[in-house]
Structure 1
């Protein structure tokens, strides 16, 4: 039950922060979902840092990892919103935005995870 509470707490905090970032960065004028992109990239970097630190000399307890990686990062990042936004791009025929957003999200997201794990090795 304690583990569920930790994931619940972390997920709630991450979701609220993602909501706030989206509120300030997503633009109805351009239609570009900058908020989702920023949240997903920052979340990727953060999970790389967290899991890199957790694996380095057992730097975090299982409970801390559940709270921060599973809970917070899980609530902060959002694949479902990313998928919906791409659906909108395709529905409106904006294939260029679809391609750029999708490719950039995957490539930069993966690089952010690797960068986070790499940075932990230096500290």
Structure 2
């Protein structure tokens, strides 16, 4: 029961964070066709995951319960790759093929770069 409570608490906090951040970005990019809110949430989520994973790799930080809360709960509730897929599909259905391709390409490249930067910021160097 304890693991489910940790995931639920983290997931609730992550979902609220996603809602607030993506809403703020949407408010400031209303005229954009590109799904910038989801893009920003995914990249930030990957940056945070990279930093936390790098800290764990270097310093063996966080108990298993804390890792469950942070990764499965908080980041699982925060990142929005299901929304990413749906928004990309909608772009394709509207024949916005270039924007759909840009969303896929930039989301993946920026997320991978954010993960790498997170590991570097955590001081792990090339060690996974």
- TM-score if structure 2 supplies the norm length? 0.88
**Pairwise CA distance, 1:52:** 1.2
Distance 1:30 1:58 in 2: 42
Give the corresponding residue for 1:74. 76
- Please name the residue that 2:114 is paired with: 112
Aligned residue pair count: 122
The residue that corresponds to 1:44 in the other structure is 46
User: Match of 1:29, SS?
Assistant: coil
Shift of the alpha carbon at 1:28? 4.9
Instruction: Name the residue aligned to 1:94.
Output: 96
Q: 1:28 to 1:87 in 2, by over 3 A?
A: farther
Q: Give 2:8's aligned residue.
A: 8
What is the aligned counterpart of 1:33 among 25, 32, 35?
A: 35
Is there any run of 5+ residues in structure 2 with no aligned partner, and where?
A: none
Question: 1:55 is matched with which residue?
Answer: 57
Q: CA deviation at 1:89?
A: 0.7
Alignment check: 8 A CA contact 1:25 1:33 kept: no
Name the TM-score, length of structure 1 as normaliser: 0.92
CA distance in 2, matches of 1:41, 1:121: 20
5+ long unaligned stretches in structure 1:
none
